[in-house]
Structure 1
């Protein structure tokens, strides 16, 4: 690819592309928001002004003596931070240690399982080199040859053993499809060097709805990748060790948990863990192909007649297309490289394209070679043993080689789900960045991995695995529809991209992407129609439901942004500020402090003292269950000195939270410009088992008041000393 080619592609893809860093959670302000911020700042002058005369040193630089131990144990606050810039402290790792004994134990366990936290600056060092990225991102693609050819033959055998000969021309057609889609994705990576997933490509070129449809298909694909890969891996284990068959589902869930733990340790560590198994599988299958090829050559390449199998279905074009779409599941995982471009070391786009080229070449060789050997050995799909296991038994009738092939196959199938653990969180990252997924998926965990996305994938895949009882055959019909939906939209989007930008050679590129889109669309329609009743209807129904969910999330974030955004001034209000900005000006805020008082004790008096110290109008409210109790409380209040205005509410039905919430709502309705600050005294117990001994009225009150506009709830804790 020339420099001009990359420049043309970069121009189209850089708008949506972004470098994946922890700062993505905090997008910068738009120019109009910066203008509004300056306007609000100007209006602050004359109101509450900044002062540096604080009772403590916020920089922690003037402590002459080492402070006393704190709740963090033997660590002192000055030891938790280092000063690198004026008025800026950098937190050290121990500052994240929770104060409770239980919290510290949990933290130590997390450190033991996942390793110490990584600094945000280490995100560049967590990227993968090509030799690591190849096995990490190709594990799904390469492992699918262990069940993809068998899935194709399992459909053909329905027409009898005589139809198995069609596997060779179908394998040629699938090889063409693999090369076409792979070459198309090479172009996609060049055009979108900061992230080339179907969601981004389809959204940019075909519209947001097409992007969401592609994202829905990919999400289902990634979840099913984990479920299918783990189920196939467990099936490979049980083929060699039939005694473990009853434990297939628990073993699958355990493998998902181990994959989750490995990926939570970070991209680079997880990559190093999965390098050897992938390369071992490639070596094992290549050795199997060579040995099987020599045996076939010794027979003069005369195929062994397969065992006769009666036909249960007539040979038809629909059956052939079903077999083609079933074999096409071997292509799942091509998308992973385009989604993970930013996970490569620089130059990212070039390393990603090179890795994808090697992946496609290895896939074509392994898929075509295994299909040819299945035909040469006369093997027929069986319910109790995989075809790869049968081929290994025939090729290596003695010695340890059969066991090594099965061990490598089982390992790669179990670890193939790691491709989804790389792609799924990054897809959710891009969607969350655009407001189509919860923003928690923007967050990077301690090890610079997208922990929330990893957890969501593991839980969803475990549910699917348990629901289908670990049967690969039941999961594969769901598999092809989602992934080829994403393939089709991505390649169609690239055709529009090239027509829109019209760089050098755009017609050739558009033609290549159009071929990929056409072939992918053919597989999509065939799989959707032929396997609709076998389970593909689940995907057909799930995709629009997911799209509706994404749109609802985006609608919520759009409302949130409209409510919280710094708007440019429109109508001049008090102090020269815009009317919409009045509540952001300290001189325009009017307070009423309300203190709910159940009984006069140390907790309530501390709350009253705190409220009075704010030097704002203060009101105390007491809820009494009957008149005599209200009279007694008023007498106690007068004995205290009646320093704060008291309002007593009698609740004859003994409800407390409801009457108080309605009363505060009525106060706010009387003065909509009034900010009600509710000061809630709260008793803090030292041990968890003490909590059920208290009514926890404070938490219930806070939950009831939270929805009320213009109401601020603050807690005054009173800690028990024993």
Structure 2
């Protein structure tokens, strides 16, 4: 039943040879890997306006020069990550760049930040998509956590079906969103040209008495939340069809061009319409309302915006498993993240991402405003480290024309560093947990690596000196009575060795006498050892006996504890059996150097 349900959810298993068919074309990759960056136009302008409103409505005109500055940084980041794609065509982005040029610890900081960022991407995207729905249907506002969790489950299942299938399905709403936003921008511009700018909008360049440089920098850093997801293409180069690096570079440029045009368009319309941020209605919703009214076009745009905000999380589902794979390959994450699932995706990474992002949504009650600062810091740390790493690479290699690349990365590094510092200084109350969580993640990386190294040292065989040693075998079979499952277990034990002993734990004289008599009548050809338990414990006497056998025979024999176990017909019947055997197995496997084997006996009723 479980197997059939799994097949229904994720489809048939795929052969390893089908992996090449799962690679992405440029158009599919643009939809899958750019959905995060493209969707951020739905809240990037809003984040700028939220900060500027602290200086009053007269300051909203600053949103235009700030938006232009954000576009400048986007241009630098696109050029920088294009260079990264050709320098590191195997993917990994900031993690590989930082590790290669700045050292292991810095690389792990970048990698850990990106992993956290991708978890936050899913949480932010699902929360932002929920906000778009509740803007159109305010009655659903109290159910936003449930809506966000439903979308996370949907995306997790879609990505478990494989990147090729999920890309084919999810590409449609992404391109619908791009078309819808450009239609909104075009119709909005036409309306402004025919009807004029909102009467109360302050002119660009008008004086604002209480504006400060710090406030403008804070607004700029908040607007840079629209740049999250730009690095995803450089992380996921192995997902592209060949030539992978060229296709990735072209996809990155397409994404940057579309993102820049949509972002400046939304910022201009917000300014011309005199839009003010509203806790219960997004800026895009207000622009669509002002352009089309609450008609069918408004609801189409809101629906598509909500959908793309949900689907923005798909960028993380594509990039997180690949980054986790690279860290696991370097032995800094569990090897389970290197395993491809039935549909050739890194299923463990996908499931891990879905579970932890869902926990974040529950923890923050689906509040996007609380999540975005964490999200932005998580991405700008890798941005800065990647730029710095590329600067050092240019200085080390100095290829032809290196000075231009070095200059681009230098400008990008200082800009992203300033943005990171602004976020830290202005939103420390919202992001302080990053400074606790990130060191824990990095410490976890080192602990995992140390464990794998220690394990390798202990398991390493000297092929010249270390040879298998032939030993005998002693098998101990714990029994609870004379039953068919005991008969089956003893039959199997005797097929392996003649040195078999059955052990029974009794609580009182009458019970022990009854067992001895029944065993003698049965006479299975195996010696029965009776252990008395004055404290009514089965585990302790058995463990002491096994320790004695182990001490006496460790040099000459392999000690095997053969545990009989019922396999019930229905899952709920398991709780009625096998508790003592489970406890005994758990203790022995963790404490003793003995072989533990289970002989199953299937019940048919």
1:335 to 223, 231, 236: 231
Contact 2:240/2:247 (<8 A) preserved: yes
Q: 1:249: Cα distance to partner?
A: 1.8
Q: Which residue of 1 aligns with 2:52?
A: 156
Q: For the residues of structure 2 that align with 1:159 and 1:670, how far apart are their CA atoms?
A: 83
Q: Which residue of 2 aligns with 1:271?
A: 167
Number of corresponding residues: 601
Q: 1:630: Cα distance to partner?
A: 4.3
Q: For the residues of structure 1 that align with 2:172 and 2:353, how far apart are their CA atoms?
A: 24
Q: 1:670: Cα distance to partner?
A: 4.4
Q: 1:708: Cα distance to partner?
A: 3.4
The 1:496–1:589 alpha-carbon spacing in structure 2 relative to 1, beyond 3 Å, is farther
Secondary structure, in 3 states, of the residue corresponding to 2:41? Answer: helix
Q: 1:146: Cα distance to partner?
A: 0.8
The 1:667–1:152 alpha-carbon spacing in structure 2 relative to 1, beyond 3 Å, is same
Q: Which residue of 1 aligns with 2:506?
A: 624
Q: 1:304: Cα distance to partner?
A: 4.1
2:546 to 655, 664, 667: 664
Contact 1:306/1:379 (<8 A) preserved: no
The superposition leaves residues 353-384 of structure 1 with CA deviations (integer Å, 9 ceiling, x where unpaired) of 10001111111111122212222222221222
Are 1:385 and 2:281 matched, yes or no? Answer: yes
Q: For the residues of structure 1 that align with 2:401 and 2:250, how far apart are their CA atoms?
A: 21
Secondary structure, in 3 states, of the residue corresponding to 1:593? Answer: strand
The 1:248–1:567 alpha-carbon spacing in structure 2 relative to 1, beyond 3 Å, is same
The superposition leaves residues 323-365 of structure 1 with CA deviations (integer Å, 9 ceiling, x where unpaired) of 1111011011112111111111111111001000111111111
Q: Which residue of 2 aligns with 1:551?
A: 446
2:461 to 555, 559, 566: 566
Q: For the residues of structure 1 that align with 2:66 and 2:95, how far apart are their CA atoms?
A: 30
Q: For the residues of structure 2 that align with 1:505 and 1:567, how far apart are their CA atoms?
A: 51
1:129 to 3, 14, 25: 25
Q: 1:132: Cα distance to partner?
A: 0.9
Q: CA RMSD in A?
A: 2.5
Secondary structure, in 3 states, of the residue corresponding to 2:590? Answer: coil
The 1:405–1:617 alpha-carbon spacing in structure 2 relative to 1, beyond 3 Å, is same
The superposition leaves residues 393-439 of structure 1 with CA deviations (integer Å, 9 ceiling, x where unpaired) of 22224753323322221221121111111111222111222222222
Q: For the residues of structure 2 that align with 1:125 and 1:567, how far apart are their CA atoms?
A: 42
Are 1:416 and 2:312 matched, yes or no? Answer: yes
Q: For the residues of structure 2 that align with 1:289 and 1:601, how far apart are their CA atoms?
A: 79
Q: Which residue of 2 aligns with 1:433?
A: 329
Q: 1:568: Cα distance to partner?
A: 5.2
Q: For the residues of structure 2 that align with 1:116 and 1:342, how far apart are their CA atoms?
A: 23
Q: For the residues of structure 2 that align with 1:594 and 1:565, how far apart are their CA atoms?
A: 30
Q: For the residues of structure 2 that align with 1:344 and 1:559, how far apart are their CA atoms?
A: 36
Q: For the residues of structure 1 that align with 2:505 and 2:478, how far apart are their CA atoms?
A: 8
Q: For the residues of structure 2 that align with 1:719 and 1:276, how far apart are their CA atoms?
A: 50
Which runs of structure 2 are paired with 1:307-706 in the superposition (5 Å)? 314-397=210-293, 400-533=296-429, 535-567=430-462, 569=464, 578=465, 581-582=466-467, 585=468, 587-615=469-497, 617-627=499-509, 629-630=511-512, 633-634=515-516, 636-639=518-521, 643-673=525-555, 674-706=557-589
Q: Which residue of 1 aligns with 2:185?
A: 289
Q: For the residues of structure 1 that align with 2:119 and 2:66, how far apart are their CA atoms?
A: 27
The superposition leaves residues 27-82 of structure 1 with CA deviations (integer Å, 9 ceiling, x where unpaired) of xxxxxxxxxxxxxxxxxxxxxxxxxxxxxxxxxxxxxxxxxxxxxxxxxxxxxxxx
Contact 1:150/1:381 (<8 A) preserved: yes
Q: 1:490: Cα distance to partner?
A: 1.7
TM-score, scaled to structure 2: 0.93
Structure 1 segments unaligned to the other structure (5+ residues)? 1-104, 570-577
Contact 2:129/2:310 (<8 A) preserved: yes
Contact 1:665/1:708 (<8 A) preserved: no
Are 1:708 and 2:591 matched, yes or no? Answer: yes
Q: For the residues of structure 2 that align with 1:313 and 1:490, how far apart are their CA atoms?
A: 39
The superposition leaves residues 577-634 of structure 1 with CA deviations (integer Å, 9 ceiling, x where unpaired) of x2xx34xx1x433432222233233332332232222135333333232455445544
Are 1:250 and 2:146 matched, yes or no? Answer: yes
Q: For the residues of structure 2 that align with 1:273 and 1:260, how far apart are their CA atoms?
A: 14
- Structure having the larger proportion of residues in helix: 2
Q: For the residues of structure 2 that align with 1:194 and 1:361, how far apart are their CA atoms?
A: 24
TM-score, scaled to structure 1: 0.79
Secondary structure, in 3 states, of the residue corresponding to 1:509? Answer: helix
The 1:110–1:129 alpha-carbon spacing in structure 2 relative to 1, beyond 3 Å, is same
Q: 1:547: Cα distance to partner?
A: 1.3
Secondary structure, in 3 states, of the residue corresponding to 1:470? Answer: coil
Q: 1:191: Cα distance to partner?
A: 1.0
Contact 2:321/2:337 (<8 A) preserved: yes
The 1:644–1:517 alpha-carbon spacing in structure 2 relative to 1, beyond 3 Å, is same
Secondary structure, in 3 states, of the residue corresponding to 1:315? Answer: coil
Contact 1:306/1:380 (<8 A) preserved: no
Contact 1:675/1:710 (<8 A) preserved: no
The 1:659–1:495 alpha-carbon spacing in structure 2 relative to 1, beyond 3 Å, is farther
Q: For the residues of structure 2 that align with 1:306 and 1:465, how far apart are their CA atoms?
A: 36
Secondary structure, in 3 states, of the residue corresponding to 1:706? Answer: helix
Q: Which residue of 2 aligns with 1:230?
A: 126
Q: For the residues of structure 2 that align with 1:163 and 1:341, how far apart are their CA atoms?
A: 42
Residues 615-624 or 164-173, more deviating: 615-624
Q: 1:641: Cα distance to partner?
A: 5.1
Q: 1:699: Cα distance to partner?
A: 2.1
